[in-house]
Every structure is written in C-alpha cells, then in structure tokens.
C-alpha cells in the first residue's frame, strides 16, 4: 500500500481499547495496544480478531502504560506479533506492574468460572496468561524523552512528556513525507505531582484524546472538597472508601492527604493503601525522580502517609474493622480488585462514604454509583448502597477541554486534520465542535476501523 493511512482499531467512540494503526508502503506500526473495558459489548471486542493479522504488525509504540493502552499486548503476542514494543523507561516499568496483574486476573477469572461451571465455554480460558505477559515485556525497548529514534521500517519517532502518569508521552512520528502526532492521554497543567504536558510545534496531523472534551475541571477546591468529605465522614464514625486507579491517581491522593495532614486539616485516623499494584507504583516514584515534581524528601513523606497492605488477610481485616479510617483501593472504576470486597463491607452502612476520584466509564460500577445506583452486583450478589457517594472530579489526571485546547495552541500552524479519539461520543463531538469554532481547524471523530489516507 502506497502512502500513509490511519485506522483506529480501538479508542474510537469510546475511552477504552486504544489502538491506532499506521500503514506505509506495506509496513504497519500500532500506536498503543489497549484492552477494552466497561460495557459488555466493548469487553467482548477483546476476544474478536483484529482486522489485521498480528504477525503483520512491525512494531508497537506506547504513549503510556495504563491498561486501556497496553492491556491487549499479551494477546497480540499470543496471536503471533514478534516486533519490538517501544516506549519510555518509566512506561516499561509501570507496564510490568499492569500487565503482570492483568494476566493474573485473567487466569483467576477463568479458574473461577470453571469452578462454578457458569462459563459459556468449557473450559473457560483466559484472554492471555502470565507467560504471554512476560513475552510481551521481553519485547519492550525503551528510549528517552526528546531524542529522535529510528524504527526498523524507516519512521522517526520522538517522545515528549504528556504528564498524566509516570512515563506518559506524546508520540511524534515522521514517516515518509508525513508527520503525525499522537497526544496519548494528556495530563493536567499545574498538577502538584506530575509535570506539565510539553508543547509540540509542528504536525501534519494530530490524534488527540477527548476524555473530558465536553467538561471543565474545578481543581481549585480539590483539597478542600477532600478535607470536607473526610471530616464529615469521620465525624459520624464512618470510613472513607476511595476506589482509585493504582497508577497515578493513588499517588496523587496520597499527596493531597499528606498536604492536608501537614496543614492540620486531616483528622488523626489511619490511612490504608490497599492495593499491591498501587504500592509498587508508589515505589516507582523513587525510581523515576525526573518524571514528577516531588523532591526526594517530599516523595518519601507522601509515600509514608499511608499504611501499605499487600497481604490479602490484612485487606480482609480492613473490611472487618468498623473504626473510622481512609481506605484507598483499586480498581478506580470498581471493575475488579480488592475494592469490591470493601464495597460489600462498607457500602451498605450510612455513616460511610464512597469517594469517586476519577473518570468512570459507561458500564462500570463506578459509573453506576456516580449516577445514583442504590445497589451494585458484586460477586453474583446485589449489595445495597446506603453509604454517601461523593465525587472529586477535580482530581482527574486527564486534561479538561480548556487544557486540551491549550495543548493544541502550542502548534505554530494548523495541521491538515485533527482526529478526536479516546472519548465517549458526546465528549468527542463537543470537542470537535469547539476546535472548529475556536481554531477553525478541520477535525473529525473517527469510527472504529475507518481508514483515513494521510
């Protein structure tokens, strides 16, 4: 195939499953390789073959390590992909945590379905296993920020900081005579932990996320809102339960809790970080000091604000403990992990609070809570939710609509086209209209598997 084409195999019309395929003269590079999450019709896409055969893909380039950008890699390996997986150093380290955990969860779910004999398939099989995850990790090649690298197929790639989480990058690809820039997930400007997204000056085409393309964050009162929630919950003798993304969000929560305690606003109650992955991700703050704003002393103090619980028995004791406390546990959308046991324990009691601290995708328990659900189905049972449900939208690690526009304003001249991905339909189309109105740039929201010639 002559020329350059772009096809979104995922992350189009949804915030999950990011996979963007570039093809040039018969060669193929995949930007991100994420897992679909949320609604069942999306999750089922993980089991369907990609429109292109895995062995035909020459390389994968990652913007960052979150599951919706990396979680399909072990399946791609299982299907025959043998090329390099290119990313920043911190992305590789975070991906090791996420892919190892994801494979373990896939294996556990298959084993559980086989035990209760409720699978449509006999036996139930994992999407991939730990061996596939390790084979994927063995294929990683890391490169520093701001240094051009040459891929085996002649594309020049450069990573720039995107904020968001450790290692997150925008990806600038010059292939043939075309230059295309992928935003990945852009972080916040002025975030207390993560570094600001770096500007990009030139591009023929831009592929930009739109998670919050129709909304603005009110970050000015984040700490105050967090303090208010904790104070009123503790005052009535309850527990504050925070479903949190293990990588990025958990560490930002620890920072705000540390700041509140230092200022005297935080009640003297125990704080638990009950997520082995979040604990390991917090350790990575020390390993990658140039990827965040915290100096070594502050980093140490922030990480020491909580009691870390790795052992499952310790986690169960937290659920049985009725004393006031703060519990941070994964997953952030309550789709799995230890948070489910805590929701069963603390959700039915009015003195407690469930504090949502990030984006909640459609079809997740977190979205159901956000929309006022009075019960949740957990481990096959309907659990009544009588605890207060509060929201902390200003804590998001994603740029809001104004911040996305701020990043776009860094380009010196209009690109030929802007592709808007990684957003639910309303957010993506609202952002498309804003680009048209404020910048007069041509923008489009791709459909999944729609092919664009660049």
Q: What is the CATH number of the domain that holds 147?
A: 3.60.15.10
Q: What is the pTM of this model?
A: 0.91
- What is the distance between the alpha carbons of residues 20 and 26, in angstroms, rounded to a whole number? 16
Residue 8, C-beta contacts closer than 8 angstroms, at least 6 positions apart: 19, 20, 21, 419, 421, 446, 447, 448, 449, 450
Which token pair is 389? 């449900």
Of 50-64, 102-116, 247-261, 398-412, give the lowest mean pLDDT range: 102-116
DSSP structure string for 9-59? EESSSSSS--EEEEEETTEEEEE--PPP-SSHHHHGGGGSPPSS-GGG--E
Q: Which domain holds residue 330?
A: 221-395
What DSSP assignment string belongs to 363-390? TSHHHHHHTT-SEEEETTEEEE--SEEE
- Side-chain-side CA neighbours of residue 104 (13 Å): 10
Q: Are residues 266 and 252 in the same domain?
A: yes
Coil, helix or strand at residue 307: strand
Q: Do 153 and 74 belong together in one domain?
A: yes
Task: Render pLDDT for 211-234 as a digit per residue (tens, 0 to 9).
Answer: 999 999 876 678 888 999 999 999
pLDDT over threshold 70, residue 10: yes
- Identify whether residues 138 and 34 lie together within a single domain: yes
- End position of a domain, from candidates 395, 411, 442: 395
Q: How far apart are CA 69 and CA 71, in angstroms?
A: 6
Q: Is the pLDDT of residue 59 over 70?
A: yes
**pLDDT reported for residue 1:** 41
Domain boundary among 355, 370, 395: 395
Section 410-433 average pLDDT? 97
Instruction: Report yes or no: 206 and 34 within 8 Å, Cβ to Cβ.
Output: no
Segment 337-374, tens digit of pLDDT: 899 999 999 999 999 999 998 888 888 999 999 999 99
Domain co-membership, 147 together with 237: no
- Contact between residue 167 and residue 93 where contact means Cβ atoms under 8 Å apart: yes
Mean pLDDT of the chain: 93
Is 69 found in the same domain as 206?
Answer: yes
The pairing of beta strand 169-175 with beta strand 178-182 = antiparallel
Structurally, how many domains does the chain consist of? 2
Domain shared by 144 and 242, yes or no: no
* Domain identity same for 369 and 259: yes
For residues 35 and 17, what is the distance between their CA atoms, to the nearest angstrom?
4
Domain boundary among 352, 372, 395: 395
Q: Looking at the structure, do residues 195 and 256 belong to the same domain, yes or no?
A: no
pLDDT at 47 over 70: yes
Strand 417-421 to strand 205-209: parallel, antiparallel, or no bridges (unpaired)? parallel
Q: Kindly state whether residues 207 and 231 are assigned to the same domain.
A: no
Whether 242 and 370 share a structural domain:
yes
Q: Provide the H-helix boundaries in 269-400.
A: 276-287, 296-303, 312-320, 339-346, 365-370
Q: Is pLDDT of 38 > 90? A: no
Q: Give the CA distances from residue 373 to residues 289, 350, 385, in Å, rounded to whole numbers and listed in that order.
A: 41, 14, 7
Residue 297, domain CATH: 3.40.50.10890
Instruction: Clarify whether residues 234 and 182 are in a common domain.
Output: no
Say if residue 410 is in the same domain as residue 380. Answer: no
């Amino acid at each position: 195939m002559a020329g350059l084409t772009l096809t979104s195999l995922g992350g189009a019309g949804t915030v999950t499953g990011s996979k963007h395929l570039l093809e040039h003269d018969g060669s193929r590079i995949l930007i991100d390789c994420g897992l679909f999450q949320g609604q069942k019709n999306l999750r089922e896409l993980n089991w369907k073959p990609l429109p292109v055969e895995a062995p035909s893909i020459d390389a994968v380039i990652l913007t960052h390590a979150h599951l919706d950008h990396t979680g399909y890699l072990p399946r791609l390996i299982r299907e025959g992909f043998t090329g390099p997986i290119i990313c920043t150093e911190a992305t590789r380290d975070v991906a090791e945590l996420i892919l190892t955990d994801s494979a373990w969860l896939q294996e556990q779910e298959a084993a559980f379905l086989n035990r209760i004999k409720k699978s449509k398939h006999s036996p139930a099989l994992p999407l991939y296993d730990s061996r596939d995850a390790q084979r994927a990790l063995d294929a990683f090649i890391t490169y520093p920020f701001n240094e051009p690298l040459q891929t085996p197929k002649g594309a020049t790639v450069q990573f720039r900081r995107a904020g968001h989480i450790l290692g997150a990058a925008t990806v600038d690809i010059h292939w043939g005579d075309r230059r295309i820039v992928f935003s990945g997930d852009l972080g916040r400007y002025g975030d207390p932990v993560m570094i600001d997204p770096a500007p990009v000056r030139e591009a023929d085409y831009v592929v930009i996320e739109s998670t919050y393309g129709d909304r603005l964050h009110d970050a000015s009162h984040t700490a105050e809102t967090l303090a208010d929630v904790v104070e009123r919950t503790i005052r009535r003798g309850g527990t504050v339960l925070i479903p949190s993304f293990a990588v990025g969000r958990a560490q930002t929560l620890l920072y705000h809790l540390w700041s509140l305690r230092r200022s005297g606003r935080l009640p003297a109650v125990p704080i638990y970080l009950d997520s082995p992955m979040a604990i390991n991700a917090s350790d990575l703050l020390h390993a990658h000091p140039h990827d965040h704003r915290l100096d070594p002393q502050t980093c140490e103090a922030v990480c020491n604000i909580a009691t870390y619980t790795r052992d499952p028995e310790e986690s169960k004791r937290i659920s049985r403990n009725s004393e006031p406390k703060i519990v941070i546990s994964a997953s952030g959308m309550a789709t799995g992990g230890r948070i489910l046991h805590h929701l069963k324990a603390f959700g039915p009691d009015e003195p407690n609070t469930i504090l949502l601290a990030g984006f909640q995708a459609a079809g997740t328990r977190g979205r159901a809570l956000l929309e006022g659900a009075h019960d949740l189905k957990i481990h096959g049972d309907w659990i009544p939710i009588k605890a207060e449900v509060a929201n902390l939208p200003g804590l998001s690690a994603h740029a809001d609509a104004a911040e996305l526009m701020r990043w776009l304003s860094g380009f010196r001249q209009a690109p030929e086209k802007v592709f808007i991905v990684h957003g639910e339909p309303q957010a993506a189309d609202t952002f498309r209209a804003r680009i048209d109105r404020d910048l007069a740039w041509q923008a489009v929201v791709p459909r999944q598997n729609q092919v664009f010639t660049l």
